């Protein structure tokens, strides 16, 4: 069972690295969608045999929101704003990938100093969770496009989700669904902001919002 979880975690690492290296925003959205499907399978794998209805519900909701709904909403934002590329990020894509590798190494080093978690989860779970949180935060601060920053938020939330589902296996279903609901609300709030930014300034470069200063 740990082998399957490790394979899923490896897919999350690869998709996060691709997200840092892609210049096409559409490709970035697809990478986050892949993470959504992987995260949807994690509850089924982590809980092993004897799956409860709550686990199946959590998996289905995760796939529906993270793998289908969020990507479709973001693609719609791109069509309305007529944006195809991530133009001039604050940190270049090659440097971003390097930061990703350093974040992964740093996460492994930091988490190796943590005490053993109850239930003896697979050793990669906690480092990957921290790595995804770091990647999400880095994307938020290093990208100019508002849609890319939304993707950063989703990756950060995905890292928290991995930790909650695999490490805290007894977390109540309502708490898990509450996290998903928060992400759902945040994406739509950010989407409204993107729409108004695009309509007012005819672009989504958030660094140009300083033109609002009097």
Q: What is the pLDDT of residues 6-63, one digit of tens each?
A: 899 999 999 999 999 888 888 899 999 999 999 888 888 876 655 677 778 878 888 8
Q: Is residue 85 classed as helix, strand or coil in its secondary structure?
A: strand
% helix / strand / coil in the chain, to the nearest 5?
A: 80, 0, 20
Q: Please indicate, yes or no, whether the overall pTM of this predicted structure exceeds 0.85.
A: no
Cα 92 from chain centroid? 20
Beta-bridge mates of residue 146: none
DSSP codes of every residue in 129-142? HHHHHHHHHHHHHH
Range of the domain at 62: 2-212
How many separate domains does the chain show? 1
């Amino acid at each position: 069972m740990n082998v399957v979880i490790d394979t899923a975690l490896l897919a999350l690492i690869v998709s996060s690295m691709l997200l840092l290296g892609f210049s096409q925003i559409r490709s970035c959205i697809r990478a986050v969608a892949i993470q959504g499907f992987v995260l949807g399978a994690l509850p089924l794998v982590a809980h092993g045999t004897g799956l409860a209805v709550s686990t199946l519900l959590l998996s289905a909701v995760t796939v529906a929101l993270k793998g289908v709904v969020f990507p479709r909403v973001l693609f719609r934002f791109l069509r309305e704003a007529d944006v195809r590329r991530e133009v001039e990020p604050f940190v270049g894509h090659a440097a971003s990938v390097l930061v990703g590798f350093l974040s992964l190494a740093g996460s492994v080093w930091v988490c190796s100093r943590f005490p053993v978690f109850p239930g003896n989860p697979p050793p990669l779970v906690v480092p990957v969770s921290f790595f995804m949180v770091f990647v999400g935060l880095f994307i938020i601060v290093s990208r100019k496009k508002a849609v890319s920053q939304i993707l950063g938020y989703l990756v950060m939330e995905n890292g928290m989700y991995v930790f909650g589902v695999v490490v805290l296996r007894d977390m109540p279903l309502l708490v898990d669904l509450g996290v998903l609901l928060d992400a759902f609300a945040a994406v739509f709030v950010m989407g409204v902001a993107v729409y108004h930014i695009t309509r007012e300034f005819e672009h989504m470069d958030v660094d140009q919002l300083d033109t609002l200063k009097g």
